[in-house]
Amino acid sequence: MTNSLGIINEVKTDRKAIAFTFDDGPNPLYTKQLLEIFQQVSGKATFFMIGEQMEKHPEVVAEVFEQNHEIGNHTFTHPGLTKLSEEECYLELEKTEKLITQLTGKQPVLFRPPYIDYNEETKKIVERFQYKTIGALNGDALDWEQPGVQFIVEKSKGHIRNGSILIFHDGFGDRSQSIEAVRLLVAELVEEGYQLVTVSELLEMSYA
C-alpha cells in the first residue's frame, strides 16, 4: 500500500508476516540488544542507518549485516530533505549508499526519509537511486518521544496485520523504552504465528 508520493507503509500479502524497522542507528548499545531479541526468535529486521553513525560504529554495521538483517539508507546527517537543495539532497543519499556498499559489499535498495519529510522533488532524486521508499503504519506509537513502553506496544498492536511495516528507533538518545516495547511485541507476535522478515522479503510476498 503506497501513498501519493509512493511511500510504502504496508504490503498486501496473505502471508502472516511483518517487518520491524529501526531508524537512526547503528548504536553499540541498542542495536546490539535488538540483534539479540531477533536472534532468539530467528527473526529478521530492517535497519535504516545514518551515515554519520555508521562511520562511528562500523563494527555494529558488520554485525547487523552478518546476521542477515537488511540495511537501508536513512541519509548521512538526518536532515529534513525538503529543506535542502537538489544537490545537497543527492549527496546525503549518495554518501550513505557508498558507505553501506563499502561496509557490507551490498548496495542498499530501500530508503526512508528522515521525519518522513518528503515531496515530489525529493521523490525524483530518490528515484535516481532506484530505491523503494519505506514508511510505516505505527507512527502514532511515537516511540522517539519515549511515551512509555505500554503506550508504544498498544499503539503498535493497533496496526498488526499481514504485511504491516512497523517503525521504531535504535539511535539518538535513550532508546530503552523502544527496545523493551519491541521485546514484548516480538514475543507476542511470534507466539501468534507471525514471521518476522526484512522489508525486501515482505515486498517479495506481495500479491498486488
Q: Which residue has the higher pLDDT, 112 or 172?
A: 112
User: Active site includes 169?
Assistant: yes
Average pLDDT, the chain: 96
pLDDT band at 188 (very low <50, low <70, confident <90, very high): very high
The total number of residues written for the chain in this structure: 208
Considering only the C-alpha atoms of the chain, give the largest distance between any 2 of them, rounded to a whole number of Å.
47
3-state secondary structure of 83: helix
Determine the pLDDT at residue 2: 61
Instruction: Decide: helix, strand or coil at residue 171.
Output: coil
Determine the Cα–Cα distance for residues 134 and 147; give it in Å rounded to an integer: 24
**Residue 20 confidence (pLDDT) above 70:** yes
Reported for 124-133, long-range contacts at CB under 8 A and 24+ positions apart, including other chains, are 125/86, 125/89, 125/90, 125/93, 126/93, 128/90, 129/73, 129/93, 129/94, 129/97, 131/73, 131/93, 132/8, 132/199, 132/203, 133/5, 133/6, 133/7, 133/8
pLDDT greater than 70 at residue 181 = yes
Q: Which of 23, 24, 143, 170 is catalytic?
A: 23
Residue range 106-133: mean pLDDT, rounded: 95
Supply the Cα-derived Rg of the chain in whole angstroms. Answer: 16
Residue 208 pLDDT = 55
Residue tagged active-site, from 57, 69, 74, 169: 169
pLDDT score recorded for residue 1: 57
Q: What percent of the chain has pLDDT over 70?
A: 98
pLDDT at 207: 84
pLDDT digits (tens, 9 = 90+) for 32-53: 999 999 999 999 999 999 999 9
Summarize pLDDT for 128-157 with one digit per residue, the tens. Answer: 999 999 999 999 999 999 999 999 999 999
Q: Give the pLDDT confidence score for residue 4 in this predicted structure.
A: 72
Q: What are the residue ranges of helices labelled H in 46-136?
A: 51-56, 58-66, 86-104, 120-128
